[in-house]
Amino acid sequence: EVQLVESGGGMVQPGGSLRLSCAASGFTFSNYIMTWARQAPGKGPEWVSSITTRGETTWYADSVKGRFTVSRDLAKNTAYLQMDQLKPEDTAVYYCAADSRIPSCSGDATDYDYWGQGTQVTVSS
């Protein structure tokens, strides 16, 4: 059974940090590009970041560039999203996704082979 399980979400004050994890199982993790996407209340899904199979290339949405860092640990079958300098507008449910193709920079779950259940991030004072 394929699973992507996100964790690490929570509530943090503006300017704070969180690290999200995405534990993968049931497929060959090292063969898939990993992506983080999010959906804020009342808004459509938004692509956040992607990382290639061995971590050699990363991409970021302009809204998070310079504040978020994506990484992966092949030995642990886990992807990460380090989020620093968080802003209230970063409040959303964050999802991880896996796909074997070059990232489309889409936040739509139907564009990915596998999709997680999400973890809530709330940035508020």
The one-letter amino acid at 40: A
Residue 120 phi, psi dihedral angles, 5° rounding: -80, 135
Instruction: Give per-residue pLDDT as tens, 5-16.
Output: 999 999 999 999
Q: CA 111 → CA 9, 104, 106, distances in Å?
A: 24, 8, 7
Task: Please tell me the predicted confidence (pLDDT) of residue 125.
Answer: 94
Instruction: Give per-residue pLDDT as tens, 22-70.
Output: 999 999 999 999 999 999 999 999 999 999 999 999 999 999 999 999 9
Q: Which helix (H) or strand (E) holds 46?
A: strand 45-51
Q: 66: burial class by Cβ within 10 Å (0-12, 13-18, 19+)? A: exposed
Instruction: Give per-residue pLDDT as tens, 75-123.
Output: 999 999 999 999 999 999 999 999 998 777 888 899 999 999 999 999 9
Residues with Cβ within 8 Å of residue 59, at least 6 apart in sequence: 49, 50, 51, 103, 105
